[in-house]
Chain A
């Protein structure tokens, strides 16, 4: 479909520039999601390495604010994390995983139809954050891969199109379900980035414990 192609191309462009901006912000090119190279190590997400103690009123405008108390953990960049293998994922499967912070629950699924930013041999493997962008209820229990849909949300019935970048196709949410950027490398599926704000957060990388390094390889 020509229209879809245009949309996909546009999205790719936005996605690339979006990721670039994040990398500039993070100042860390080792985890460039567009890089051909597979990083051999994931960053050590311990608080000492990832936190800077700054007063919010003194912080730079581009930097999300941090807790002066130093109680709140955060990441500086999106890690590249293995979440499954293509061969283990059949059409209709739904696998839940946390990324990039603990309690940021997402789902990986294989739709059986080509999807925007889908990966794998058929371009039908996609992942999304599971928190409804209306008021934060989880849609992980209402993922219907055969209809390329998440929802209706158990709280107020919002429903999202998984083949079109999590587009709201009914309901009260004002933004798409955040899509997790995926890469396939040697038959493994990696999460590399989150497109869109996870509901309830002010920044996807802040105010939470980064997922364990052990899970990521």
Chain B
């Protein structure tokens, strides 16, 4: 914490950039002011870039804290930079102006400067020579990456190469990275930053036909109930809580927190005529399904919605694909399964979940029971890791079923969305389905005995030797994966074989070929800071990040397109990720990756995508400051209920388990272990 006693005021001549927070899914609006050190604005409105009289007014969005200011260096010149919340943006200006969390309020402290803690950024490409990372030029580094790909493909085809890439660091970068991987290389071995395969994070939602960002923040202000599952909203999704949910609650909405932890959000819910359902860890699917059972028993289900929007014929569901065929249910099948399952009787569910039966019934009444005029309550369902990173399919399907049962989608004050995590910056740039369909070596056996090809678990393929060159971008798998220790040991062992003794291209190729032939692997790490994975890397590619050089795009949790301005240079010779992918692709012979800017990538994708389904994504105008919904399109969609039977291992109650539940649990384990 800084104890500085002053901050400089930006002069009217300061450069001004509109951008969005570098952190969480809320996607708050920010502004950046940049001007040479030595110049300063004055405290009167006509003397500064904010146009305000200092001191700034409380809640007015124009206070500058010492953490919002930093000094950077470019070409030997020093510049003041202030990164502050935008005081005119619908995301973080509802109850107060320019609201921000502790994270957003200190973005300036993350900017690169040789004078502060960010000085350990990666600045030059490096190759491990004789066991030690040595700086090399970009040409040598890119040739080496292409060579590693070639050597791996010579030995194991496209399956010899694996890529692990973030899902969030701007659509232009993920588009370029996946184009390289699925189009140029054609490999099926792809993992996201938080999971080892190209699988959905909320399989139950997606396969029920629900889009996982189906609301506007404003809906929480109009809702009757805001149900928050497995997430801490004040601490982790602060501004949706402070600027939106709170307004809804002040207006009479009932907050419900479903979480094994007692946190701020639980206290808040209890203190505001709401509920905290403090369930036993891992029992979400039982709790949510017993709520569904009470709704069904009382006849509170939203028949109109179910008739209009869910698939009524078994054959229609079967046509949707193997997942729906395996797990999808018509309403009648779902109803029968829920009513037949003794664990879902509130009294039995109470024993398993630790939630009293009367609370299960009250919650069901809150979200299900129509009022005396037949009006149905409007509920917004928000969930996050606590729900989905456990029994991913079961939990997300159980919640998805409740959304369908109550018809909580498509009307003001109702909806569903993720309640945390990063902003969404993933655009697929290559034919992933083809690469997986043609080359994946992983299958799933359905209950009909059908062998279905599925996206491979890349971590497993790093461990079992199938992947010979692993390109890891912007994540640290040897420090955070499932079964991390085993993965780290495999990476250590498989990268420790023959080492090049000079930076000569032939010598590099010789050593790596020898290593691969001995069962080893070459590791490329494309990063902004050295991390644990970097310790094992053969090639290190330094990347630029938020605010550096390129303009970028991604979406927030209500599908609002956020635009990010590049306002400063990156450290040393670091390059934007898209440019690094473009250089590798061209080195490997691609002729359609020679983009001149991130904007060209955005246009390439947007033009292609605009004619098809946009999943209801929406855009802001070019300044990024005002919302518009002009580009909203609806996808043709139909929904289906899903089997969401609870996993026995976590349940204390030991009643009769149906044959179906045992079967499906075993099988869902196999598909969702990577979720």
List A residues at the B interface (Cβ < 8 Å). Answer: 14, 18, 22, 56-57, 59, 61, 64-69, 71-72, 103, 131, 133-138, 155-157, 167-168, 170-176, 194-204, 206-208
Neighbour of B8 across the interface among A69, A103, A167, A202, CB < 8 A: A202
Nearest-CB residue, chain A, relative to B52 = A200
Q: Are A65 and B41 in contact (CB under 8 A)?
A: yes
Determine whether the beta carbon of B102 is less than 8 Å from that of A171.
Answer: yes
Per the 8 Å Cβ criterion, residues 33-82 of B in contact with A are: 37-44, 47, 53-61, 63-68
For residue B625, give the distance in angstroms from its CB to the closest CB of chain A.
Answer: 20
> Does B543 lie at the interface of the complex (its beta carbon under 8 Å from any beta carbon of A)?
no
Contact in complex: A14, B58 (CB < 8 Å): no
Closest to B235 in A: A170
Given contacts A157-B234, A172-B101, A197-B4, contact A71 B63 (CB under 8 A): no
Enumerate the 5 nearest inter-chain pairs by beta-carbon distance, A residue then B residue, closest first.
A136-B58, A200-B55, A174-B67, A203-B6, A174-B105
Q: Is the CB of A135 within 8 A of B7?
A: no
B116 at the interface (CB under 8 A from A): no
Contact across chains for B42 and A135 when beta carbons are under 8 A apart: no
Q: How many A-B residue pairs have CB under 8 A?
A: 139
A67-B47, A172-B100, A207-B53 are known; give 20 further A-B pairs, CB within 8 A.
A18-B3, A65-B43, A66-B43, A67-B44, A103-B55, A135-B58, A137-B59, A171-B102, A172-B242, A173-B105, A174-B65, A175-B2, A175-B67, A176-B3, A197-B66, A198-B55, A200-B63, A201-B55, A202-B54, A203-B7
Given A156-B99, A199-B65, A64:B6 Cβ within 8 A: yes
In the complex with contacts A22-B5, A136-B58, A175-B1, A199-B42 CB distance below 8 A: no
B27: CB under 8 A from chain A? Answer: no
What is the chain B residue whose CB lies nearest that of A138?
Answer: B58
Q: Which of B3, B4, B55, B67 has the most CB of A within 10 A?
A: B55
Chain A minimum-CB-distance residue to B6: A203
Shortest Cβ distance from A191 into chain B, in angstroms? 15
Q: Which single member of B42, B58, B64 contacts A68 (CB below 8 Å)? A: B42
Q: Find out whether the CB atom of B43 lies under 8 angstroms from the CB atom of A72.
A: yes
Interface size on B, residues (CB 8 A): 46
| B47 pairs with A68, CB closer than 8 A | yes
Q: Name the CB-closest residue of B to A63.
A: B40
Contact A135:B47 (CB < 8 A) given known A56-B41, A168-B102: no
- Chain B residue at minimum C-beta to C-beta distance from A135: B59
C-alpha spacing A150/B524, complex, angstroms: 50
Instruction: Note all chain A residues with C-beta closer than 8 A to B264.
Output: 157, 170
Give Cα A204–Cα B3 distance, bound, in whole angstroms: 12
If the complex has contacts A67-B43, A202-B7, are A172 and B105 also in contact, measured as CB distance less than 8 A?
Answer: yes
A17, chain B: closest CB distance, angstroms: 10
Interface of B is mostly: loop
Asked if B98 is at the interface (CB within 8 A of a chain A CB), the reply is yes
Complexed CA–CA distance, A171 and B102 (Å): 7
Name the residue in A57, A72, A135, A195 with the highest tally of chain B Cβ atoms < 10 Å from its Cβ.
A135
Would B44 and A71 count as touching, CB distance under 8 A? yes
Is the C-beta of B96 less than 8 angstroms from some C-beta in chain A?
A: yes
B520: CB under 8 A from chain A? no
11 A-B residue pairings within 8 Å (CB atoms): A22-B5, A59-B40, A65-B41, A66-B43, A131-B58, A174-B65, A175-B2, A197-B66, A199-B56, A201-B54, A207-B53
Whether A176 pairs with B11 at a CB distance below 8 angstroms is no
Query: Nearest Cβ in chain A — how far from B306, in angstroms?
Result: 40
A176 to chain B, nearest CB (A): 5
Report the nearest B residue to A18, measured CB to CB.
B3
| C-alpha gap A135/B64 in the complex (Å) | 9
Residue of A nearest to B239 (CB): A172
Q: Is the CB of B102 within 8 A of A174?
A: yes
Q: Is A65 touching B9 in the complex (CB atoms < 8 A)?
A: yes
Find chain A residues with CB under 8 A from B41 CB.
56, 65
Residues of B within 8 Å of A57, CB to CB, are 11, 39
Contact B57 A200 (CB under 8 A): yes
A residues in contact with B4, CB < 8 Å: 196-197
Closest chain A residue to B2, Cβ basis: A175
| B238 at interface by CB-CB < 8 Å | yes
